[in-house]
Amino acid sequence: MFLILIVTVLAVAVFTFIFFHTVESLKKYSSIEVNVEKLKSSMLMLRRHEKDFLLRNRLLYKDKFLQEYQHSLTLAATLSEQLKGNDYRGDEVERYLFDLKLYKDAFIKLTKAMSERGLDEKSGLYGSLRNAIHKVQNYAKEHNYTLLLAKIYELRKNEKDFMLRKKPKYVKEFLQNFNKLSSLKVDESMKNYLLEYKREFLALVEKETLCGLDENSGLQGKMRQNVHKTEHLLQVLEKNIANFEKKHEKNMFAQIYLSAFVAVVIVLFLIIAIANNILDSLRIFQQGLLNFFDYLNKKREDISTIKIDKKDEFAQMAELINKQIAQTADFMKEEEIKLKGLAEFDELTGIYNRRKFNDLLTYHINEFKRYKTEFSLIFIDIDDFKKINDTYGHAVGDIILQKFVQITKDNIRDVDIFARWGGEEFILLLPNTNIDNAYIASEKIRKSIENYYNTLIGSFTVSLGVTSITSKGTLESLLKKADKALYKAKREGKNKTVICKESQS
């Protein structure tokens, strides 16, 4: 009997060792998954700083991009060490770092080219072009070239159209209108000023073309290609790591099950030899372990401890394992909460991010197609927010964003879905709301913002674009209609709500 007891104790000790070893391995794999998610989040931040630079033309975002790039390098190095420590043989991290460097280099080239072009109307080629046209206009006014001034206004229109829309046809129109000036009689100084204006405009066109007239051409197109390669490789890395972990988890669970089986057989023999009442304790113990494994394998949502209402060796061992189960469950829940927070919420404002909103919008579109459940969308943009940032600093800008979110939340229903779309642009989804009621809700928000007074900056306003779902509505068409309405509100003087119905889309 004593020999049987010793053998049993040794078997349980071996099993416990394997169990703890497995738990620690699972923690390591969980840490790897967290670092992969951090790497993905860092990639999103790089894209955000890239977009902010392209949108706002401020070198501040170049510096933020480079800081985040260094952060990505650190994360990748940590992940590489973790994978090597777990005998992972893939080279995806090294390839990711290579492609990430190409992305960074392309972004630097683009920022350099855009700086040479000019980051505002007074710098770079923008400034040179501005000085040239001022010379032409001033000289024309001084010498009373009335007809020439009228023609110059046409050139300025072509110039502004190109800068706004980046279409080559406006360059062609500019050159055609410029050639018409040859019929006018002007002195040599005027001719020289006009030629200087033409040279400066064509130089700006050349630099804009180098930067890219859209996201798929020029340096922007090259950078976009590098971004897609980097993001694809990150997806491949995530998938391969998941397969690697799954394979190792199967081996570990096989060892656990085998050890558990051996321990159970020995313990059963002991129970039969000693007393039938110990058999109940063993069954409870076994079921508790299986429940825990099912929890680890995501086969069940809840986890229960091993409950043995006896004062024997099994009860003591169950108490120890229950502590480890509780610690493991707490750890997994904490990591799950962290991952969910990174994936769904905007860090500054605490509301949904763009990715989560797109998921919810897709769901409501499908619900509309099945049950005709109507809803509306509202795009909201804070007017002149760049001026707030430039005048008072980004810290004050962040406070304004948070206050705007609070005021908006105070004026919407609990069922309404509110998200940050990007920068100072936000979006609202109003379930079971037609476009007329959506307009009323928009005006309520707009007036609340207009009536708010901030001790730091005074008052500020917002522009809103409203649309609603239709039978032909898709995610892209809905967003396009709301964006079109918002653009119209901006164009018509800001601090305004504009509706875009189906007939207007």
Question: How many degrees, rounded to 5, is the angle at CA 32 between CA 26 and CA 35?
Answer: 145
How would you list the strands of the sheet with 417-422, edge to edge? 417-422, 425-431, 375-382, 462-468, 497-499
Please name the residues in contact with 86: beta carbons below 8 A apart, sequence gap of 6 or more.
28, 29, 32, 244, 248
Spatial CA neighbour of 255 closest among 496, 22, 491: 22
Dihedral sign for Cα atoms in the order 393, 395, 398, 404: negative
Q: Which of 396, 308, 288, 418 is nearest to 352 (CA)?
A: 418
Residue type, 410: D
d(CA 45, CA 39): 10
Which of 221, 204, 118 lies closest to 158 in space, CA to CA? 204
Residue 88's nearest CA partner among 293, 244, 306 is 244
| Residues belonging to the active site | 424
417 beta partners: 429
Residue 381, beta-bridge partner list: 425, 463
What's 503's DSSP letter?
Answer: G
Q: How many CB atoms lie within 10 A of CB 53?
A: 22
Separation of alpha carbons 18 and 324, rounded Å: 13
